[in-house]
C-alpha cells in the first residue's frame, strides 16, 4: 500500500510519469464538453489538462478524465499498478475492511490562500467553466467538487459532491438530491430560519474527491474517512467566513451562504443516468462571500455522462467493495463477490454472487442487498448469481439471468423504494408532487437450490 502524492499536482506528476497525461493548450472552451464526453467513454484514456483558454488568464487550468484507466484508479488509492482488474477488486475489499476514520487536523497556512477575493471582489468568471452538455441550463463550475456543510444540531461536518451551476460571478447553484447528507444539513438550517453556511472545493486531490462522491455513513466526515484511508489526518484550514474545514491542499475554494427564502431556477443538467432527468426547478443557491485559489489553479471537471463515465469507473470499485463488506458484516454465509456496475452509475444494476447453502439463501441475499446503504438510493435491478459467474463481467451476469432465471418465479418486486428527481422513469406528474419512489426487481439468477445438481452442466 503506497500513497505517495499529497495533492493534485503531485498526483499529476505521477500520472505524467505513467504516460497518462495529455496537456492541451488554446482549446476553445466551447469544445471541452464534447471532448470530455468522448474521452470519458474511451477505455484507458489519458487525463487531459487544459491551459491557455482564449479570454482567460494563462495558468487558469482545467483537468478532466482523472479516473479514465485502472492504473490511475490504482494509483489514486495506493494499490499496485499491475493492471489486473480482478486483483484490484480484492485490494479494495481488503482495504475497506480496515478503514478507521482519523479526525482531520487544522493547520494555520495553505497555498490555497495565495489569492483571495472577498465580498465585492468575488469573481468566479476568472475560471474557465464549460457548458458541459448541449442542453445544460448554463456552465457548471461544480462537477468535480466537494461541498462542505456542518450539521447545526449534531456538529459534524459532511462532504458531498453536489453540482453547482455558475449563475453569475458571485452566485452558484446548490442542487442536492433529497436524503443526501448535505440536503438534510441544509434543511435543518432552513427549518430554523437560518442561512446555511457552505464551503466548496473545486479542485482537490483525487482521493479526497473519491471520498466526497461515495456514501460514507451518516455522522462520519468524509475527510476523516480519507484520513483513515491514508493512515494520517487530512490537513485542513478553517474557512475565514464560515469556520468550515477546507483541505489545505485544495486548488480553488469558495465560502458563502444559502438562504431559506431564496431560490432560483436550476438546470437542466446532463446527469449520471444519461438523461437531463431533473429538468429545471426552483432550488436554493449560494451567495459567494469569498474565493481562494492557488497560483495557476486547477479546476477539476467531472461532468456526468451517459454511464459509465470516469467517476463510475472508480466508483464501481469503491461501492462494490463497500457493499461486499456490508454483506459480510450482516453475517450471511456464502457471499462470493459483489459488483455495482458502472453502466448503472454504481446504483441501477447490482450483482452479487453466492455459494448457495440452503433453501431461500439467494432471496435472502437479494433482499439484504436492497437493505444496505449502498443500494438504497435510486437502485433498480439486483441480481443474485452462483459463484461460478464473474459478477464484474456484464456478459456473464446477463448469461446467468437469461439461462438460470424463470421470469414467472425468479423475480421479487419491492414497491415504494427510495428514488429522487434524477430518476428518468418517474412520471412528470409524480415528480411535481415530490413522489420520488421507484420499484426494485430482485432477480434470482442462481440455479434453483432444490435441483441445482441436476441443472445442465455448463460448457
Ligand X SMILES: Cc1cc2nc3c(=O)[nH]c(=O)nc-3n(C[C@H](O)[C@H](O)[C@H](O)COP(=O)(O)O)c2cc1C
Neighbours of 395 (CB within 10 A): 8
213 binds ligand X per the rule CB under 6 A: yes
Helix (H, G, I), strand (E, B) or coil at 371: helix
Burial class (CB in 10 A: 0-12, 13-18, 19+), 190: middle
Q: How far is CA 361 from the centre of its chain?
A: 31
Q: In the complex with ligand X, which residue's Cβ is closer, 50 or 175?
A: 175
176 binds ligand X per the rule CB under 6 A: yes
For residues 127 to 146, the per-residue mask of contacts with ligand X, x marking binding by CB under 6 A and - elsewhere, is ----------------x---
| Binding segment (CB under 6 A) for ligand X, from list 123-131, 178-186, 246-254, 291-299 | 178-186
Q: In the complex with ligand X, which residue's Cβ is closer, 156 or 449?
A: 156
| Binding segment (CB under 6 A) for ligand X, from list 159-167, 248-256, 330-338, 423-431 | 159-167
Which grid coordinates belong to 439? 420499484
Bridge partners for 61 per DSSP:
298
User: Which of 61, 170, 181, 440 forms a contact with ligand X (CB under 6 A)?
Assistant: 181
Query: Pick from 179, 186, 59: which is nearest to 126 by CA?
Result: 59
| Binding segment (CB under 6 A) for ligand X, from list 8-16, 32-40, 170-178, 197-205 | 170-178
**In whole angstroms, how close is the CB of 326 to ligand X at the nearest point?**
15
Contact predicate 145/122, CB 8 Å: no
User: Which of 3, 27, 214, 220 forms a contact with ligand X (CB under 6 A)?
Assistant: 214
**In whole angstroms, how close is the CB of 319 to ligand X at the nearest point?**
9
Cis ω for the linkage preceding 308 (within 30 of 0): yes
Phi, psi angle pair for 23, to nearest 5°: -100, 135
161 binds ligand X per the rule CB under 6 A: yes
Q: In the complex with ligand X, which residue's Cβ is closer, 40 or 446?
A: 40
DSSP 52-87: --TTS-TT-EEEE-TTSSHHHHHHHHT------HHH
User: Which of 182, 297, 301, 366 forms a contact with ligand X (CB under 6 A)?
Assistant: 182
Bridge partners for 256 per DSSP:
198, 288
Residue nearest to ligand X (CB): 160
39 binds ligand X per the rule CB under 6 A: no
Q: How far is CA 160 from the centre of its chain?
A: 8
Within residues 276-315, the interface with ligand X by CB under 6 A covers 302, 304, 311
**In whole angstroms, how close is the CB of 448 to ligand X at the nearest point?**
36
For residues 66 to 95, the per-residue mask of contacts with ligand X, x marking binding by CB under 6 A and - elsewhere, is ------------------------------
| Binding segment (CB under 6 A) for ligand X, from list 32-40, 158-166, 235-243, 292-300 | 158-166
Interatomic CA distance for residues 123 and 113, integer angstroms: 15
**In whole angstroms, how close is the CB of 433 to ligand X at the nearest point?**
20
Query: Pick from 222, 223, 226, 217: which is nearest to 237 by CA?
Result: 223
Interatomic CA distance for residues 316 and 303, integer angstroms: 17
Q: In the complex with ligand X, which residue's Cβ is closer, 150 or 181?
A: 181
Contact predicate 64/47, CB 8 Å: yes
User: Which of 131, 133, 180, 186 forms a contact with ligand X (CB under 6 A)?
Assistant: 180
Contact predicate 335/356, CB 8 Å: no
320 binds ligand X per the rule CB under 6 A: no
Alpha helices in 297-376 (DSSP H): 310-330, 361-371, 373-376
Query: Interior CA angle at 158 toward 245 and 10, to 5°?
Result: 55
Q: In the complex with ligand X, which residue's Cβ is closer, 297 or 345?
A: 345
215 binds ligand X per the rule CB under 6 A: yes
The contact set with ligand X (CB under 6 A) reads 143, 158, 160-163, 175-177, 180-182, 213-215, 302, 304, 311
Amino acid at each position: 500500500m503506497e500513497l505517495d502524492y499529497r495533492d493534485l499536482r503531485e498526483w499529476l506528476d505521477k500520472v505524467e510519469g505513467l504516460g497518462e497525461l495529455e496537456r492541451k493548450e488554446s482549446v476553445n472552451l466551447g469544445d471541452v464538453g464534447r471532448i470530455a464526453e468522448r474521452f470519458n467513454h474511451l477505455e484507458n484514456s489519458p487525463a487531459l489538462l487544459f491551459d491557455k483558454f482564449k479570454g482567460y488568464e494563462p495558468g487558469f487550468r482545467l483537468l478532466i478524465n482523472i479516473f479514465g484507466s485502472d492504473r490511475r484508479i490504482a494509483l489514486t488509492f495506493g494499490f499496485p499498478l499491475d493492471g489486473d482488474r480482478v486483483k484490484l477488486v480484492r485490494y479494495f475489499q481488503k482495504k475497506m475492511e480496515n478503514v478507521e476514520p482519523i479526525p482531520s487536523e487544522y493547520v494555520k497556512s495553505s497555498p490555497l490562500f495565495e489569492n483571495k477575493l472577498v465580498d465585492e471582489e468575488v469573481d468566479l468568471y476568472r475560471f474557465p467553466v464549460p457548458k458541459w452538455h448541449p442542453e445544460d441550463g448554463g456552465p457548471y463550475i461544480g462537477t468535480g467538487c466537494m461541498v462542505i456543510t456542518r450539521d447545526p444540531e449534531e456538529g459534524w461536518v459532511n462532504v458531498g459532491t453536489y453540482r453547482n451551476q455558475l449563475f453569475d460571478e458571485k452566485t452558484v447553484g446548490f442542487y442536492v438530491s433529497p436524503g443526501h447528507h448535505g440536503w438534510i444539513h441544509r434543511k435543518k438550517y432552513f427549518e430554523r430560519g437560518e442561512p446555511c453556511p457552505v464551503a466548496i472545493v473545486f479542485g482537490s486531490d483525487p482521493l479526497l474527491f473519491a471520498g466526497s462522491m461515495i456514501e460514507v455513513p451518516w455522522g462520519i466526515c468524509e475527510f476523516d474517512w480519507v484520513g483513515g484511508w491514508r493512515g494520517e489526518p487530512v490537513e485542513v484550514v478553517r474557512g475565514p467566513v464560515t469556520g468550515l474545514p477546507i483541505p489545505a491542499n485544495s486548488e480553488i475554494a469558495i465560502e458563502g451562504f444559502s438562504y431559506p427564502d431564496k431560490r432560483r431556477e436550476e438546470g437542466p443538467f446532463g446527469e449520471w443516468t444519461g438523461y437531463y432527468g431533473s429538468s429545471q426547478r426552483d432550488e436554493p443557491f449560494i451567495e459567494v462571500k469569498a474565493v481562494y485559489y492557488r497560483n495557476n489553479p486547477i479546476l477539476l471537471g467531472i461532468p456526468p455522462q451517459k454511464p459509465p463515465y470516469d467517476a463510475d469507473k472508480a466508483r464501481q470499485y469503491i461501492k462494490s467493495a463497500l457493499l461486499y463488506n456490508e454483506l459480510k458484516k450482516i453475517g450471511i454465509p456464502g457471499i462470493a463477490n459483489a459488483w455495482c456496475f458502472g453502466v448503472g452509475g454504481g446504483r441501477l444494476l447490482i450483482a452479487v454472487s453466492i455459494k448457495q447453502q440452503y433453501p431461500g439463501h439467494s432471496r435472502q441475499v437479494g433482499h439484504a442487498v436492497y437493505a444496505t446503504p449502498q443500494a438504497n438510493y435510486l437502485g433498480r435491478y439486483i441480481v443474485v448469481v452462483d459463484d461460478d459467474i464473474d459478477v464484474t463481467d456484464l456478459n456473464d451476469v446477463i448469461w446467468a439471468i437469461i439461462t438460470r432465471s424463470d421470469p414467472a418465479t425468479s423475480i421479487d418486486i419491492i414497491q415504494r423504494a427510495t428514488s429522487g428527481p434524477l430518476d428518468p422513469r418517474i412520471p412528470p406528474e409524480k415528480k411535481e408532487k415530490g413522489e420520488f419512489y421507484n420499484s426494485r426487481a430482485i432477480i434470482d439468477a442462481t440455479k434453483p437450490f432444490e435441483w441445482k445438481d441436476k441443472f445442465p452442466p455448463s460448457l
